[in-house]
Structure 1
């Protein structure tokens, strides 16, 4: 059954793109499978900026399938690209991996200790596993397998026959490229991912040749084509790395590939791609997507895909992402500290041309608060249409169905505070979580998972050891001996009220209520400047007596975690 877009969906960017893609596909080839595409280069860690390259067409393809159309999401692994540079933090610093520069990524050894046979497979696998957890279904294509099997032979021969036309198209843009690259070099570096946007375009002193062979002797692409015969397909080349020279028949040769600005449009035509987004490195004047649009029409007799330029994805507290600079968080890293639906939501709720940040610092707690608030609005029917569609796209797909969610989703900041205080002790963690809400207790810790595990990994991997909570082993006798009667009274009032207020809500009322009672104010009074000062002073005193510093986890959570008896001891009561 074909489902049309509703009026409510008109404010949803995914639905709007699905409309455009369906209309374009029906114009080009009515009734055929609609092809959406992505491309990733496993040249290093595949970071969260690269994930947008995959998530954008995934969401659009999923909406197209939801409407009853046959749609495939092709993911092209650009693993036949050259190894361009040794990325920082890949585990091969000072190990001589520079000697492999120029080889196909599938011919470069994996970092020491890897379970995989090649550099490409080593960096592909974490992304493959992350996509499975995120419910992203793709038809994966290895460019190494395609080229070495001769799948593109006719397209390669066509490109070589039409090399003068390709050179003429490229010539229209060459003067624009340098200016475009210098205008936003940082953004281009940040958007590294699919293909090799900075490769040469095939020009040489001997003429223009869009095919680059890998040397039969050293397996590097530091080769120069010196002659080509269209009739016999005899191609001669010289390797500048090792000096090897050779003549091969291109009609039989499979150890080489088209240069990037020809390779990409060739694949658009070969796969029949209708929709593919592109990063900023491919979308400026004279860059791959723009030039490819001309080449695919004039050489391969096909049309370029439609699709948006996607904007930068940052990390809260980090500089722009670049695979070559090391230390860039990947989708696997993000899934260590957040549930898959939340990560999907971050991409689904923003239009592709809107930049956003993924929080690895304390902002993750606010991000989860937003997600939980959205979940409550969805549950009670008060959510607006656009937010509702973003939530739906985050939590389910046509192929995978509903993605796993935490059955009893307690606030992330609360879970983080508790595992921080208990250092992951499951008995203590369960005791505290059971006391959070006596009206709706946990039956087991499994009901709080996977969110509980995500919060624990966030504390262990993202919070420096010196910032973690250490509860005092003994009372601070020196501080207690200096307290005046007013502050002693506040501690007594708190200690006496613990048993009657032993829940997260009750302790919240208690710690905020003690200063109100001391000022002779009703418990429901609105905060005044005087009250705020009194509360801050009281809270600081409690933190000093319990954890030995001015601040810490939210006091109600801290009190629950430490336990009533120990709290009384530390307060000198």
Structure 2
């Protein structure tokens, strides 16, 4: 493995973690591929909060690849986890249709009605896999159903059962601490925060069961009803004979654990077992995993029993959505990577995760803020192009637009998102009209085909159609508002004449921008090119009044899309008609 000098850029969190992971991997397993890991439970929609579980190690793995090292990014699909509850908000799923499957492995639960996939887990994995491909995430997927049912972990299971007293002693140190801390603080538990851990195994935080026969870190699925409402009642270390009973169907049986493949280690033992088995050097964990007694903290002690070490594991903060509370897969109404990729290009979504350190919260915009987000991105893009971007911003941009294997596909002609959204809004699906408007934005360099503006145009159109309320959509008048035109005083009429006189000369995005701001200046006796520093405050008031008048005459509202874009969209002939010429 090549030795690469450590990064000197102390502002880039990805480079810093890559330095640390490379060094740690050389210490633990010199010469072997570096292993980073993520874990996702397809218990429902894999949402944008869960995506941070993947993007954090992906970005680090990609940096390591750029430096010439071999690296494996494992995504463990926790599809052998139990089906805990019937999630809300999933088409084709009701309490009546799916409640009977609670307690079964996710791969044994029927997919939602109408799904093309064989079971619940595969249905929800598929959408995430497709999104990760669009995001350029290179990973190796591991099905825990396949691992457990094929006997891959047999030695680890037997080892855990043999050392169950040691595991129990570690867990016993923490079992009462969270409750005591909660009682002391008198702070109510935020259920949304607890459920936000879904997607990486945190939901149950199961540490096994203790009964008259002692503690056992293994949970069999019942041989009769296939559910995990089971209790191990006896186990023989020499013969590996295990007796269990099911409280759901009253079934019981004796099996040889050395031959039995229908069960799994409890989560707090399962996770550290996998760290040791896979040789994981880097794996992040959510805040729900990082409190005293949680799986990541306890796993750091249990992993040694399996001959491994705890990964380097930064805690990552929650991901929020503009106007929404924290996401929870079981509560319904969550937004997924697929939802985000319908309205934003992969580069933008990657950038949101790359530019913030893992312990900093992320807010993803599905409301009007997405326009400001794109403006911010385009400014950064320009700074990177001219070499004026700061090192950390430059690094985040680089991680957004390319991976080690090459650049992600991008829009050929990057027109402003807010402009594209306005055009999509006004043209209402008429692509010929959309192309006409966009080709007039810059007459000196006209858009020849709508494909030049794709996929950004398609993302903006999808945002308009799915996230802008109907009462905020733009509907241009068919006929002039005669009553309003008749009521205008001489000054208002003069402002319209000045605008109409300048349309022909200024028919471009920049030209119309100059014109609409210039009209109130000229009316007040100033030059059309006068700057804001040269103008009294009253001019801004006059400009706002003029804009409101134009909006009322064109769309019947006080506000709307940016006026230059709106004028281009309406077309010169129709503008003249609606403004009373």
Q: TM-score, normalised by structure 2?
A: 0.96
Aligned to 1:358: 364
Deviation readout 1:222-250 (Å, 9 max, x if unpaired)? 10111111111111111111111111110
Q: Does 1:317 align with 2:323?
A: yes
Aligned partners of 1:88, 1:317: CA distance in 2, in Å? 20
Distance 2:542 2:178 in 1: 63
Asked if 1:391 corresponds to 2:392, the answer is no
Which position in structure 1 is the counterpart of 2:230?
223
Pick from 287, 304, 312 the counterpart of residue 306 of structure 1.
312
> Any residues of structure 2 matched to 1:73-112 within 5 Å, and which?
73-91=73-91, 92-112=93-113
Matched residues in 2 for 1:426 and 1:4: separation?
52
Alignment pair present for 1:561 and 2:569: yes
Distance in structure 1 (CA, Å) of the matches to 2:420 and 2:296: 45
Picking from 506, 531, 540, the partner of 2:511 is 506
Work out the CA distance in 2 between the residues paired with 1:56 and 1:525: 46
Partners of 1:535 and 1:383 lie apart in 2 by 34
| Contact 1:197-1:281 within 8 A present in 2 as well | no
User: How far is 1:186 from its partner?
Assistant: 3.8
1:239 aligns with 2:246: yes
Q: Mind listing any 5+ residue stretches in structure 2 that lack a counterpart? A: 183-187
Alignment CA distance shift 1:197-1:157 (3 Å)? same
Q: Does 1:403 align with 2:408?
A: yes
Q: How does 1:18-417 map to 2 (within 5 A)?
A: 18-91=18-91, 92-179=93-180, 185-206=191-212, 207-297=214-304, 299-399=305-405, 401-417=406-422
C-alpha separation in 2, matches of 1:179 and 1:322: 26
**Matched residues in 2 for 1:405 and 1:15: separation?**
25
SS at match of 2:176: helix
Any runs of at least 4 consecutive aligned residues in structure 1 with deviations exceeding 6 A, and if so which?
none
3-state SS of the aligned residue for 1:373? Answer: helix
Whole-Å separation in 2 of the counterparts to 1:204 and 1:160: 13
Instruction: Indicate how the Cα distance of structure 1 residues 440 and 6 shifts in structure 2: closer, same or farther if over 3 A, else same.
Output: farther
255 and 388 in structure 1: CA distance in 2 versus 1, 3 angstrom threshold = same
Q: Secondary structure of 2:174's match? A: helix
Q: Is this contact kept in 1: 2:7–2:19, CA < 8 A?
A: no
> TM-score, normalising length from structure 1?
0.98
Aligned with 1:476 (options 478, 481, 487) = 481
Task: After TM superposition, give the deviation of residue 155 of structure 1 in Å.
Answer: 0.2
Post-superposition offset of 1:4? 2.1
Alpha-carbon distance between aligned partners in 2 of 1:511 and 1:191, rounded to the nearest angstrom: 51
Question: Is contact 2:41-2:78 (8 Å) kept?
Answer: yes
Shift of 1:96: 2.8
Q: CA deviation at 1:514?
A: 0.6
8 Å CA contact 2:202–2:295 kept in 1: the answer is: no
Q: Partner of 2:439 in structure 1? A: 434
Alignment of 1:521-532 (within 5 A): 521-523=526-528, 524-526=530-532, 527-532=535-540
- Which of 458, 466, 475 lines up with 2:471 in the alignment? 466
Measure, in 1, the Cα distance between the counterparts of 2:246 and 2:96. Answer: 25
1:454 and 2:459 are equivalent in the alignment? yes
- Output one character per residue of 1:195-240: Cα deviation in whole Å (capped at 9) or x when no partner: 1442432123232110100001110001011111111111111111
State how far apart, in whole Å, the 2-side matches of 1:326 and 1:108 are: 18
Deviations 1:468-511 (A, max 9, x none): 00001111111111111111111111111111100000001111
Q: Distance in 1 between matches of 2:310 and 2:130?
A: 30
Q: How big is each residue's C-alpha offset from its partner over 1:119-142, in whole Å with a ceiling of 9 and x where there is no partner? A: 000000000000001000001100
Shift of 1:259: 0.3
Aligned to 2:185: none
Q: Is the 8 A contact 1:197 1:260 kept in 2?
A: no
CA distance in 1 between counterparts of 2:220 and 2:117 reads: 26
* Offset, 1:280: 1.1
The 2-side partners of 1:235 and 1:345 are apart by: 51
Query: Contact 1:180/1:284 (CA < 8 Å) preserved in 2?
Result: no
Counterpart CA distance in 1 for 2:205 and 2:85 is 12
User: CA offsets, 1:435-468, max 9 Å, x none?
Assistant: 1012222121111000000000000010111110
Residues in 2 aligned to 1:247 and 1:539: alpha-carbon distance in whole angstroms: 81
CA shift at 1:65, angstroms? 1.2
Distance of 2:66 and 2:256 partners within structure 1: 47
Deviation at residue 431 of structure 1 after TM alignment? 0.6
- Residues 335-358 of structure 1, C-alpha deviation per residue, up to 9 Å, x if partnerless? 000000110000000000000100
1:398 is displaced (CA, Å) by: 1.0
CA distance in 1, matches of 2:180, 2:191: 10
Report SS of the residue matched to 1:212: strand
Q: CA deviation at 1:191?
A: 3.3
**Partners of 1:337 and 1:457 within 8 A in 2:** yes
| Contact 2:194–2:203 under 8 Å retained in 1 | no
- CA pair 312-243 structure 1, distance change in 2 beyond 3 A: same
- The CA deviation at 1:29 is 1.6
Query: Quick check: 1:542 aligned with 2:543?
Result: no
Mapped to 1, the partners of 2:221 and 2:180 lie a distance apart of 31
Secondary structure of 1:96 counterpart: helix
- Which consecutive unaligned segments of at least 5 residues does structure 1 have? none
Aligned equivalent of 2:429: 424
Secondary structure at 1:550's aligned position in 2? coil
